[in-house]
Amino acid sequence: MFKQVAAVISMSLQTLPQRIGASSVIVVGIAGVVAVLVSVLAMGAGFRHTLADSGRSDRVIILRGGSDAELNSNLTRTDVDAISNAPRLAKDSAGKALLSNELVTVVNVPKIDTGTDANVTLRGVGLRLAEVRPELKIIEGRMFHPAVRELIAGAGAAKQFRGLTVGSVLHLRNADWTVTGLFTSNGDVHESELLADVDTVGSSVERNGYSSAVGLLSSPAEFTRFKDALTTDPQLKVDVQREPEYYAAQSKQLTQIITVVGKTVAVIMAIGAMFGALNSMYSAVAARGLEIATLRAIGFGAVPVLVSVMIEALLLSLIGGVIGASLAWLFFNGHSVSTLGGGFAQVVFQLTVTRSLIATGIIWACVIGLLGGFFPALRAARLPVAEALRAA
């Protein structure tokens, strides 16, 4: 049987160029399904990757109790003073806690491609910014000065929104702000933001408090004790989270939506591709009718015929899957886009075509090919020899 299977598969593949038209329908259809699936899921992967990279296990974010995002949180200056005296926070050489009191608001900045206004996060940060966020690096220009209306823009924001070049002046919140520098922060969500002095931002939006406090712990293992010290303090009503957990929660809902939409579209296209594969494989079986009938007449069994048709469908699907995944990687991997993230502000991120997404796309292609090839293969194996010879 194995020799028969090998012989029939070899014969099937040798005659494949003669059926190039029908075969290309399968390849093109499945390539389209895989390209759409991988590119849409790459949005979710890129968004999740951007927010997941926005934290360190030894960095914590403290919000007002009951708040699920910085935009609807409010900490008083007394709250921040109490937090800075909590145990387990890392200290500088002078014994001061490494804590950045931050104020988050949303401003309108026009997008480069459409010119329409989009919500962009303006984050007021404390003087300990460089120590609390050491990954932040100025790549052009300089850091803003405190007590003046100056800001620095994330590299991601500068690619998506107008007026964020060094030296530009933005009209935000009824005042002019000068862009003094561009920064990177390991590709995390803060590259979508504008950073300025927290007290200057506070006076601009007429707020005397803060949205959050971001601190470094002396060790990641100290998180539980630090959290307990704050949440059991009767003078405080706060929630304490590790920074990665906070941003993971912010990205969860949108990532799920992107994944559901992507898979729904892919399923609809996959059904169409599967019917295309069915029709093409039925045509291929009909074109090989004389060949199959002759093989059966000289003693070849039904199983080798069935296997050869299935292998042909699987091979064509695999080629289509590889082409589709390659197109998705070539045209979409690393492409910068922006969308509304947690807190109703734009998050700039890059589409990320990962190895797992490529593998997922190719697996989908193989499943479609197997389903599309099964019934034509079964028909070829069951076709009576005499009927096949008459039809040929």
SS3 385: helix
29 pLDDT band (50/70/90 cuts)?
confident
pLDDT at site 288: 63
Phi, psi of 81 (to 5 degrees): -65, -40
162-197 pLDDT, tens digit per residue, is: 999 999 999 988 889 999 999 999 888 889 999 999
Distance separating alpha carbons of residues 100 and 103, to the nearest angstrom: 10
pLDDT at site 269: 76
Share of the chain above pLDDT 90, in %: 36
Q: Which of 189-193, 276-280, 317-321, 371-375 has the lowest mean pLDDT?
A: 276-280
SS3 369: helix
Write down the pTM of the prediction: 0.74
215 pLDDT band (50/70/90 cuts)?
very high
Greater pLDDT, 316 or 225: 225
Can you name the residues that pair with 73 across neighbouring β-strands?
A: none
Residue appearing with tokens 């050869």: 308
pLDDT at site 13: 66
Q: Tokens for 289?
A: 């009718």
Interval 83-100 mean pLDDT: 89
Contacts of 126 (CB under 8 A, 6+ apart): 99, 100, 101, 102, 132, 198
User: Is a pLDDT exceeding 80 seen at residue 306?
Assistant: no
pLDDT at site 247: 83
- From 37, 25, 26, select the one nearest 325 (Cα to Cα): 37
SS3 340: strand
Q: Tokens for 5?
A: 């299977």
Question: Buried b vs exposed e over 150-173: b needs ≥16 C-beta within 10 Å?
Answer: bbbbbbbbbbbbbbbeeeeebebb
Distance separating alpha carbons of residues 167 and 255, to the nearest angstrom: 36
